[in-house]
Amino acid sequence: MTAYELMIKTNHHLIRGGELSAAQKAAIVPRLLAARSDEQAIPNTFQSNMYPAYFIPPYNNGKKLQTVIPMSPKTHILSANAYELEIIRLLYLFAPEDTVVREIVRGTLERLKVTCFGNGCEKGECFHAALPVLRFLAAAAPGETEWIAKLISFFHAHFDDQKRHSGVMRYFNLCLSELS
């Protein structure tokens, strides 16, 4: 099973109300960490803050990977960021004290602070990419209440700006349901 398949399967299990034992969580963490991208293998197109720094999605014959709430992204901005943020979110939920996980979360928060989609951008799929950011923040940085509120407000202000895939609202509702 690939890291993507494990991330999707684990998320779907949890979304449906399933629980995982400590042993299951402990088995998932090293499998996800093993998918961490080698810095030298990151393509030039992914060497900006707009793209992941730790978990680059596999090539997949040029087809972008679907998000947790099934949407077929048109851009790598949504596909790649959803892939990375959902993996890091699970790592944080399952191993919040792990030093490698903490460093990945810290670096990711710093990266997201300087992205347009991490701060609200209504252009193209940057709007959609704000949803995995919101879900990640809810789990890994719930104390970032101003940032979270800003993304929620942004979503409400711009959702009706254009026709959206039905999965966008489902993803947003998932994010809201996980805020504590």
Task: Provide mean pLDDT across the span 9-17.
Answer: 96
Question: In the chain, pLDDT over 90 holds for what percent of residues?
Answer: 57
Amino acid of residue 70: P
pLDDT at 40 over 90: no
Q: How far apart are CA 83 and CA 66, in angstroms?
A: 8
For residue range 93-107, what is the model confidence (pLDDT) as tens digits? 999 999 999 999 999
What is the three-class DSSP state of 69?
coil
For residue range 131-142, what is the model confidence (pLDDT) as tens digits? 999 999 999 999
Give the pLDDT confidence score for residue 126 in this predicted structure: 84
The CB-side HSE value for 177 (13 A sphere, CA atoms) comes to 10
Domain boundaries along the sequence of the chain: 3-110+119-178
> CB-based burial of residue 163 (10 Å sphere; 0-12 exposed, 13-18 middle, 19+ buried)?
exposed
